[in-house]
Amino acid sequence: MKKVEAPTLEEAYQKAAQVLECSISELQCEVVQHPSKGILGFLKKSAIIVATSKKTSLSKHEEKVSVEESIASEIIETVKSETIKKETETTTIKETPNKKDVVLDSFFEADRVVEEDEVLENELSEEKNEEESVIYDELAHLIEDQLKEMLSHACFEIDIVEVDVRDNTALIFIDGEDAALLIGKEGYRYNALSYMLFNWLHTKYELFIKLEIAEFLTSQQDMIRNYIKPVIENVEKYGKGKTRSLDGILVQIALEQLREAFPDKYVAVKTGKEGNKFVVINEFNNKSHA
């Protein structure tokens, strides 16, 4: 950032471009004082501007983004490498042969060996969960900071942004004075934001998302739960069924609830000729396992 003074604004812009070593089109300027000829040569004022180079600002921004991506990549690689390491250690321990050849001793030792294996597996599992928990917490803080930065540029009054990462899913909670506006009429802004966040987090961090703005998601889940009651009754009676056309997040909520209700049936989202989406339930899954 440079403060430049010259007789005219044009000369000030040219001088700033020379100092910052960039073209005039790449300048980002704030006029502190406009030039004035004064009266009879008295009270004459020069042009004063504060200028920065857009190229420099962009480089700093790109450097910040690069650092954040590097941190995220290291976190994800750490999770993967630790998982592979623990699985390898567990396999090696399981394959260690028992050197005792006495049948009687082996008979009484069997239960103890199994118990020791189970204890060891539980300890390794607990260590793995603790390490993953720490790494997921770091990733959650990183995503939360990035999300706060993004929303700070929006026109909505949002004062609560919380992110928790568990089981490869980013649980996002947003609330504030303009939460209803962020949801939009019939949830169209909520759907757009969910789609954008999913594409960002799944592409960059291989995460799924659950977005809650105020209590919108909870209310939608309750609504779908009431709606699918007759659908569930119909499936229990005839063995198959389907929902009506559902929009946006509603079809995903219905899919989750119906899969929970019918874990042994084929439950999937289908798309109609006009692009409308609905959930179907039938016996196809049972036949495939037969």
Question: Between residues 65 and 3, which one has the greater pLDDT?
Answer: 3
pLDDT band at 42 (very low <50, low <70, confident <90, very high): low
Confidence of residue 124 (pLDDT cuts 50, 70, 90): low
Average pLDDT of the residues in 88-102:
52
Neighbour tally for 287: CB within 10 Å: 9
Lowest mean pLDDT, pick from 158-172, 173-187, 226-240: 173-187
Task: Please report the pLDDT score of residue 280 as a whole number.
Answer: 92
Pinpoint the residues of the chain covered by CATH 3.30.300.20: 97-214
Mean pLDDT of the 4-21 span:
85
Is the model's pLDDT at 196 over the cut of 80?
yes
The pLDDT score that the predictor gives to residue 192 is 86
- Return the percentage of the chain with pLDDT > 90, whole number: 9
Q: Rounded to an integer, what distance in angstroms lies between the CA atom of residue 113 and that of residue 97?
A: 11
Binned at pLDDT 50, 70 and 90, residue 116 comes out as low
Domain at 218-289, CATH from 2.160.10.10, 3.30.1370.180, 3.90.1200.10, 3.40.50.300: 3.30.1370.180
Evaluate whether the domain defined by 97-214 bears CATH number 3.30.70.1290: no
Paired with 27 in beta bridges are 53
Give the torsion sign (CA, 265, 267, 270, 276): positive
Choose among 247, 243, 250, 254: nearest CA to 274.
247
Question: Where does the chain hold its CATH 3.30.1370.180 domain(s)?
Answer: 218-289
Specify the DSSP element, H or E, that contains 257.
helix 249-261
Is 231's pLDDT higher than 70? yes
The model's confidence at residue 104, banded by pLDDT at 50, 70 and 90, is very low
Provide the mean pLDDT of the chain.
76
173 neighbors 179 (Cβ within 8 angstroms): no
Mind listing the pLDDT tens digit for each residue in 252-277? 888 889 999 999 889 998 988 888 88
pTM for the model: 0.43
The answer to which of 6-20, 55-69, 88-102 has the lowest mean pLDDT is: 88-102
- Which amino acid, 18? Q
Share of the chain above pLDDT 70, in %: 68
> Cα 27 to the chain's mean position, in Å?
35
Cα dihedral 153, 156, 160, 164 sign? negative
Report yes or no: 45 and 34 within 8 Å, Cβ to Cβ.
yes
**What distance in Å separates the CA atoms of residue 95 and residue 69, rounded to the nearest whole number?**
39
